[in-house]
């Protein structure tokens, strides 16, 4: 719109009556133009009637003619969960679409859908050549909070990029100078104090989603929850370790509803510096298939050389931690491994029966400056967990992985005792791996997305309808009621049984004693003056201290 005169800024009125994204900029000859401002307007009546052909310029197939495009909302699910349908009583699909914050990605149509350059059409293509400029908007119907920022977008993932496995793909948002600001400044995750992000992953939840295919005895739409990897990362945080924070949103791309997504931090250099201190360039980061992500592999390779040489002796056990044989720090020895972090990490993955691991799906990071911090391991992409009692992973021993370190450390008696002490702390009393605590964490996340699952069901619930699922069951349209049934099964069956199985497996492998630990007649709290505390044991004698020291000395002796 041209200006009326030199004194009057140009203006225009745009009538918005349907879901739209509007992009505007100011331009004047011989002057630099302004940035492009983008605003998305969502009309829920349009969303719930989203049809299979959004327009003539949308591709009918993705990647190849083997994979028909999927744009529509399932009218049967929409009708069943119509807000005006009395039998639903509690809520309907419009409320489901308002139950979470919204993220809107707006980008050039060809950059997204073009036959030769569209990133969704070429989801398996990777590298900087497949990054595209985009607008990112966030708005929360519950609070009114919102932001818009320009950024880069690329597809994300490994096997999930392949349409044979999944039509609903993950995205990564990059904040870089060539796209816009170098960081997003926003308190995106309520359980984190970090408010600056250089990248975010919008996870589609792959093998834990309705749109996944079935692989017998591994995963299926029938047991999808969108929660498993999130629960694993939440639990690592609950254990007191650093881990990736995340939330849930509804995603729209160029005005089309794309479903339930899980924005997540990535444990990269910026993440390490934010949570652990130092500079981004200080960190060595290794991930997935023993791939160098940042820094170098010098300390990493030295650590595994020590591990492969054997860690059964106390001298070797202390050496990999940068200590003398008596456990005192030695400035001449680099600290290669955070043993406490590794124990937590392994207990969690063994407890949950992690299947697609440890040959990949992990991050490890170490601050090389000062040589005083050992490698820490981070939960990543753990979607095939909490689903199989038969899966005993206590014997894992993959080279150049956290499992190799664990397998070598198991040869050391002091490590086994430290593992047992930590397992007891986590699995008993008020530990975060007690049945009640695991159930509570599971349900707290499930409650966040229960309503949103209605919308996800309408968008992707029929993606695998008619296919053969686990045990030969024909996959139906996946609905919130099927999701609720699996949610309850994990809560009521898996967690109680897994607690018993984990303890039994740890005992069978020498990682937990067969003798029960002493119990206290009162575990802390207020007691009357002169209270006679009782320490009870099923067998043997009880040794205790009053000054915080461990009554057990290294090697098993009794402290004085």
Phi and psi angles of residue 325, each rounded to the nearest 5 degrees, phi first: -55, -25
Asked whether the beta carbons of 263 and 249 are under 8 A apart, the reply is: yes
Instruction: Please tell me whether residues 55 and 124 are part of one structural domain.
Output: yes
Q: Report in angstroms the alpha-carbon separations of 248 from 189, 311, 445, 458.
A: 10, 42, 9, 17
DSSP 67: S
3-class DSSP state of 144: coil
Question: Would you call 137 helix, strand, or coil by DSSP?
Answer: strand
Tell me if 262 is assigned to some domain: yes
Contacts of residue 171, defined as CB under 8 A and 6 or more positions apart, other chains included, come to 105, 153, 154, 155, 156, 201, 202, 251, 261
**Angle ∠(474,475,476) on CA atoms, nearest 5:** 110
Token pair 């004693």: residue: 513
- Judge whether 486 lies within some domain: no
Residues 227, 276, single domain; the answer is: no
Q: 282 lies in a domain?
A: yes
* pLDDT computed for residue 85 by the predictor: 67
Q: Assess contact for 11 and 110: CB atoms under 8 A.
A: no
Q: Is the pLDDT of residue 216 over 90?
A: no
Beta bridge partners of 170: 156
With respect to residue 14, please indicate whether it lies within any of the assigned structural domains.
no
- Provide the whole-model pTM: 0.95
Amino acid 401: pLDDT? 98
User: What residues pair up with 291 in beta bridges, in sequence order?
Assistant: 287
Please check whether residues 420 and 473 belong to one and the same domain: no
Same domain as 178, residue 118: yes
Give the side-chain half-sphere CA count within 13 A for 550: 10
Q: pLDDT of 409-441, one tens digit each?
A: 999 999 999 999 999 999 999 999 999 999 999
Place of tokens 């997540």: 264
Distance, in Å, from the CA atom of 520 to the CA atom of 309, rounded to the nearest integer, reads 42
Q: Average pLDDT, whole number, for the chain?
A: 93
Is 334 in the same domain as 403? yes
Cα angle 387-467-211, degrees, rounded to a multiple of 5: 60
DSSP E strands, 430-554: 519-520, 535-536
In the chain, how many domains are there?
Answer: 3
Query: Are residues 291 and 150 both part of a single domain?
Result: no
| Co-location of 66 and 137 in the same domain | yes
Same domain, 80 and 179: yes
Residue 69 has pLDDT above 70, yes or no: yes
Examine residue 358 and say whether the peptide bond preceding it is cis (omega within 30 degrees of 0). yes
Instruction: Calculate what percentage of the chain has a pLDDT beyond 90.
Output: 79
Within-domain flag for 165: yes
Closest to 391 (Cα-Cα) out of 427, 352, 360, 426: 352
Domain-located, residue 223: yes
| Per-residue model confidence as pLDDT tens digits over 514-530 | 888 888 888 888 889 88
Q: Are residues 454 and 427 in the same domain?
A: no
Element (H, E) at 110: helix 109-113
Same domain (yes/no): 28, 45: yes
Q: Which residue has 């004047």 as its token pair?
A: 28
Specify the range with the lowest mean pLDDT, choosing from 22-26, 271-275, 315-319, 372-376.
22-26
What pLDDT sits at residue 6? 62
Tokens of 187: 């308190």
- Enumerate the β-bridge partners of residue 174: 152, 199
In a domain, 211, yes or no: yes
Q: How far apart are CA 453 and CA 261, in angstroms?
A: 11
Within this chain, do residues 467 and 550 fall inside the same structural domain, yes or no? no
Domain membership of residue 395 as a residue range: 270-433+500-514
pLDDT band of residue 11 (cuts 50, 70, 90) is confident
Question: Is position 493 within any domain?
Answer: no
Q: Angle, nearest 10°, between helix axes 495-508 and 339-352? A: 120
User: Around 552, how many Cα atoms within 13 Å sit in the side-chain half-sphere?
Assistant: 10
Torsion of CA 173, 177, 180, 181, to 10 degrees: 90
Whether 249 contacts 103, CB under 8 Å: yes
Q: Within this chain, do residues 360 and 415 fall inside the same structural domain, yes or no?
A: yes
């Amino acid at each position: 719109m041209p200006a009326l005169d030199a004194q009057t800024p140009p203006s225009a009125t745009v009538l918005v009556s349907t879901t739209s994204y509007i992009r505007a900029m100011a331009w004047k000859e011989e002057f630099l133009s302004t940035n492009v401002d983008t605003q998305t307007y969502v009309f829920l009546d349009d969303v719930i009637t989203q049809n299979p052909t959004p327009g003539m310029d949308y591709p009918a197939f993705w990647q190849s003619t083997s994979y028909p495009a999927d744009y529509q909302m399932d009218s049967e699910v929409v009708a069943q969960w119509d807000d005006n349908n009395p039998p639903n009583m509690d809520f309907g699909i419009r409320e489901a679409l308002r139950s979470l914050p919204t993220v809107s990605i707006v980008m050039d149509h060809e950059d997204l859908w073009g036959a030769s350059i569209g990133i969704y059409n070429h989801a398996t293509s990777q590298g900087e050549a497949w990054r595209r400029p985009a607008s990112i908007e966030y708005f929360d119907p519950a609070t009114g909070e919102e932001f818009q920022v320009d950024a880069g977008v690329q597809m994300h993932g490994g096997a999930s990029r392949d349409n044979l496995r999944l039509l609903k793909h993950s995205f990564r948002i990059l904040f870089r100078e060539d796209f816009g600001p170098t960081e997003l400044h926003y308190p995106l995750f309520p359980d984190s104090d970090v408010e600056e992000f250089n990248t975010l992953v919008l996870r589609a939840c792959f093998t834990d989603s309705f749109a996944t295919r079935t692989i017998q005895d591994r995963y299926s739409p029938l047991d999808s929850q969108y929660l498993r990897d999130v629960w694993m990362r939440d639990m690592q945080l609950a254990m007191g370790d650093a881990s990736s924070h995340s939330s849930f949103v509804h995603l729209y791309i160029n005005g089309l509803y794309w479903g339930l997504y899980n924005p997540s931090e990535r444990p990269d250099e910026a993440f390490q510096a934010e949570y652990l201190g130092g500079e981004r360039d200080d960190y060595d980061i290794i991930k997935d298939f023993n791939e160098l992500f940042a820094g170098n592999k010098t300390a990493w390779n030295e650590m595994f050389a020590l591990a492969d040489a054997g860690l059964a002796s106390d001298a070797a056990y202390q050496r990999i931690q940068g200590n003398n044989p008596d456990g005192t720090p030695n400035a001449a020895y680099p600290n290669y491994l955070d043993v406490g972090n590794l124990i937590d990490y392994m207990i969690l993955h063994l407890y949950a029966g992690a299947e697609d691991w440890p040959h990949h799906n992990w991050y490890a990071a170490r601050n090389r400056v000062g040589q005083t911090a050992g490698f820490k391991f981070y939960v990543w992409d753990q979607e095939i967990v909490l689903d199989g009692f038969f899966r005993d992973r206590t014997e894992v021993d993959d080279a150049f992985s956290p499992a190799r370190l664990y397998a070598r450390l198991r040869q050391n008696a002091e490590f086994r005792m430290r593992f047992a002490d930590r397992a007891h702390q986590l699995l008993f009393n008020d530990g975060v791996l007690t049945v009640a605590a695991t159930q509570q964490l599971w349900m707290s996340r499930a409650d966040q997305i229960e309503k949103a699952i209605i919308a996800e069901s309408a968008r992707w619930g029929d993606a695998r309808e008619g296919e053969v699922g686990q045990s030969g069951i024909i996959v139906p349209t996946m609905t919130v009621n099927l999701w609720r049934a699996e949610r309850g099964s994990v809560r009521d069956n898996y967690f109680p049984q897994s607690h018993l199985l984990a303890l039994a497996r740890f005992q069978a492998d020498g990682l937990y004693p067969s003798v029960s630990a002493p119990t206290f007649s009162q575990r802390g709290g207020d007691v009357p003056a002169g209270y006679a505390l009782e320490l009870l044991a099923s067998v043997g004698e009880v040794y205790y201290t009053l000054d915080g020291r461990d009554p057990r000395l290294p090697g098993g002796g009794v402290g004085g």
